[in-house]
Chains A and B, each alone.
Chain A
């Protein structure tokens, strides 16, 4: 119980299953009182419905959730808390129409119970009475009642259906009978359709009926008749596009009708859905209507009810549409019949008219009667009255022109023989004497056995035609002559461009013969650049008969060239006898060429005139500008700020009055006929030089003006000036520097020398022809060969080079030259030019020599000074120091006698030594001065002999041997005293420093070499350790031999000084204890 309580409390509704069976009877209790629910539940459990399933709802709304549950019984508390009493009962009744209903009331006094009872429609039960028996009974009763009600309901429905069917049948019958009635009376399609719609609406009770006509071209159905569509909705039915596979399209394609019994949910009618709902349409049928076996119409019927169309309905409607189709067929046939009749009448009258217009008459001759019946026009042609239309063969023959009679008879006889159709042309003479040309044709008529029964034919009055023909022929002849003899080309072409005629001049100008040309189309002949315009013009011409257009185009000559043609095309397509597009044109190549040339010349001239930096203008005799180029205009604008127009005053521009006057004079000079050029300077805008040329313009013998050309030569002027300046500066520079330049063109061998080169050689430019030979003639013979070698080498290697040379100066003082050269090569690396400089460097050379001398002198003096200083500090100081020391000792009174003697002796030696040093010093200084002594021829043998004599004692003492050999050369130009000193010092050294116990052997030999003399002094003495002392050998006061203390270190110093003073060199070779050799060289 608790569980149920909870359920009821917590939920609005629930299912309380009294049994487990799924098939149990379903009972719905609508009750908001829990204790009542429990109570009823208990009663049910005890009743015979104990296995039922009890659903409980706490209010009416919740109960509706079970409306689909197929409740057998509903128990409704009429006094629900939120309930509405009897309205609740009606609501439940409506929602559960197939369920039995028991109302739960409070008691018999319950007002609601009364009301329920009043209607006697429902069972009730008072709550306080409920027990299982009453419940059982009441339920059963309620169920019975429910069943009865259901049965009654069903019977009612069936009755109503039968009624409906009857009604429908009536309706359908009315519909079809009405339609058929109308069909019987109506003779036209439009009325039929309109009536069909009307009847469908009125008798068929359709809400809408309309007929659509198929418009195949636009794939549409057009509404042509309707009933029931409000004006506002009409647009939806008009111009309905056929949907592919849509209902209309399907009908037209298949011939089958289309039904939708539920438009709202019909997928195929989606597009109509919205409208259908709006219009309240439930079902529809669309049926095909045929006309002559083609489905051309659809019959559309709409009902407001869904499921409207059943079998009978459909069958009837198919029949109706069949009837309509049949009616249409009938209409058509009738129409055709009427039309045929009208046509016949029409044709007959037209024939008459036609015959009249065409002057064609017809006739029939019956062989049976021999009578001929002539038509009105035939009578008119033959000049007889229409009433006289019965003629005969003979009467006809009487009209024939006598000249044509034989021929006519011949043909008619022939025709009669063969019974074949015939034509003949002949003349007739009318009664009034007029002659007419007749063309007649005849045919035999046969009966069914093939026997000829008559003859019929036409007579055509061709008099006018004949006359016109003749005129045309005449005209055409004239025309042809004109065309064919004319220079212009004429063609005739069809609308499509096919050429039908061309004049013979085509051959002259375009090269084609007629046959070839007739095969051509415009596209074959006209230049691709011109064709588009041509075709455009031609197309618009086709729209405007009689009009022309002008063309100028290139046409293809047979030889492949393009020929410029000019002409017109005229649309004479409508012109009888011409019926063509007529082209007249001529070859304008020559004019075109001239024009092109002229245009080119003009442009070319303009280009030339305007593409120059020169100013070009022309002036007439009134000083007015005739023409000018752009450059001129620009300059005028620049100078004056104004533009000068053609015809403007040329003397009113730009310049100062003074300048303008000068120009005026120049113009006047030109007007006199003078052609001239003058240079004009202007400082506008800046330094501005121009060369103005004047060319008089003549017209016949008369001068009408002058053409002027101004050429800007400012840059040239400046450049010339600069060139001249730099040339003169170069000359000046060359003269100052004594540098000349020269070049040899290696291709022509031409030598070019600058002015300075002539100056260097002191020759006149005009007197000589520059050449290598001329150059060598100025070179000192000593240097010629060496320079020639240099040049030879240069031409082998093509390398830059230089040389120094002495000039061959006949008058004495030597001059020196320096030359330097380079090669210039062309793009093939081939030398093309040798160029260089030649400089007179005598002054520099002399300066250098002087400088060298001074430098050498200064160096020597410096050396001397050093030597002097050395001598003073060493050699002079040495004896002095001794003297000081000794003299101090000498003053010592305690000095022992022996010692005193030694001191005095030392003092004496020191003083002597001092004296020697001073003497040597003097000698050395003397040597320097003697250099300036005059040179003389000195004989080595004489000097050697003199010295031998002077030291003969020493030679004897040492047993020395002296050997001299001056056989090769014995004399030299030099300073004698120096040679003497040299010989003396070297000989005495050899004597002094001999090896102990070895007699000195001294050899002196002179050798003559190229450009020099060599003297060799050899001894077998002690030698000098050159390894250690070599650098000091020739030093002053250098001594190398301890055994020979008397050496002062002066000799070799003196020798070297003196050798060098007279331009020689000395060299020593020595080996200790072997001997020494001095080698002295003198330049000669």
Chain B
């Protein structure tokens, strides 16, 4: 028994020693919390494609569908149901969680991280400023007042306040003007291929900056003409170059690198959710517009090839199930893989000409309105492959005839915006809807047959996302879909 007891003590001591050794090594043993899956820092140039692709995802997918349906180029297919609520004007906050998230938590925050990173080159920073300006303009155009001054600073402001649209526009101009000298910096490292839009072509970025600034000032032309006029005059005083090419990401057929809306359609099992709306199709037909067959797909019927459309929002009432779809050119034909390479136009060449035409028509800039107007139409024809635009320009009722007949500034603007509307079909749905909200042109919109809001009301804004409602103490309250944003007309 005695022997046994001694052994016990020795062993107990040994165990104690082992335990003590374990104790002191504890901290080291437990120091395993460095994330092996994700880096703590990366080169700022790696963030630029993120910012650009995110803006392109917003413009080219979510806003593309809302825009094209609310601009009445497209309507919900009777054979599917994905976008019914858009045609019903029954959208709710959760519908906008996605684009809001892409704007703030992908596009804007990564642009900001480029700007704040001391190792970012001047050129890289310049582009990031433009992306930030573009993103905030997009946000305020869609939602009205949005967080800006307290946005993107999570440790300082956990409940960012909403700034007025005017304040957001002021900042947009500031960002653009900060960008220009950075873009012009000569000794800067060029982002090259990391720039998915212009591959580091700084002259193009300067033109983009000027065109964006013109677009932004014109947005204020009706609501705040003094600011718009002063801004545009100051811009023209710099002898600006404007875009003559589309600002777009070149999408490729590789999965995940495709046109975002087409990619969405593929993910939805190839279901064709959108079809031709009679609102746009009738207007194109009235002008015998050769672009019609580029924007939509002719339905091949043994009896007669034709372009079939249905009235906006009439997906339920429609007995015939064959309707023309938007074309692969605009990325919206679900079963045609060539939709994959359709561009997302952040700003288009045609738009650039029409913006200049409007600035001149309003007397705030120098230039020749008919020349710019025709250049816009020609750029659109070139972009769609619809052939020589001359005959159309000269003979279509909405062609040069409309501009020539216009006497007042408003009538000239009407002709310009209406032509811009045709050029933006399928390509720039959000911008076309936005310009209609600003100017009331074109004038042939109808209320959707599926509308659940009062007669005469139209969607004039996007709703604040549900994610803000449920997490932000500074949430300003839900504004109904039929209330205009700051620069918008009450009854366009």
Q: Do A and B come from one complex?
A: no
* Chain B contacts to A: CB under 8 angstroms: none
Interface residues of A (CB under 8 A from B): none
